[in-house]
Amino acid sequence: MLMHEMMVAQSLLATISDEAAKHNAKPIGAKISCGALNPVNDETLCFAFEAIAKDTPCEGMKL
């Protein structure tokens, strides 16, 4: 797993968790878009997000 995707996943988790808490909601999914020149690998990002979302309100949600 690349460290870059892990950092992006951590940032996404924090943002999604904060927004869900503001609205007293459980997140079920998020649609994100990375530009063509962005070095983020989609599959690796999803894997990283799934790993760090374990045991959080975001566990089980889909990117």
Report domain extents, the chain: 3-53
Tell me the per-residue pLDDT of 16-57, one tens digit each, with 9 for 90 and over.
Answer: 999 999 999 999 999 988 788 888 888 999 999 999 999 999
At 56, list the tokens: 């959080």
pLDDT in the model for residue 1: 57
User: What per-residue confidence (pLDDT) applies to 33?
Assistant: 86
> What confidence score (pLDDT) does residue 36 get?
80
pTM for the full model? 0.86
Tell whether the model's pLDDT for residue 9 goes beyond 90. yes
Which helix (H) or strand (E) covers residue 2, if one does? none
Higher pLDDT, 4 or 50: 50
Burial bucket for residue 58 (CB in 10 Å: 0-12, 13-18, 19+):
buried
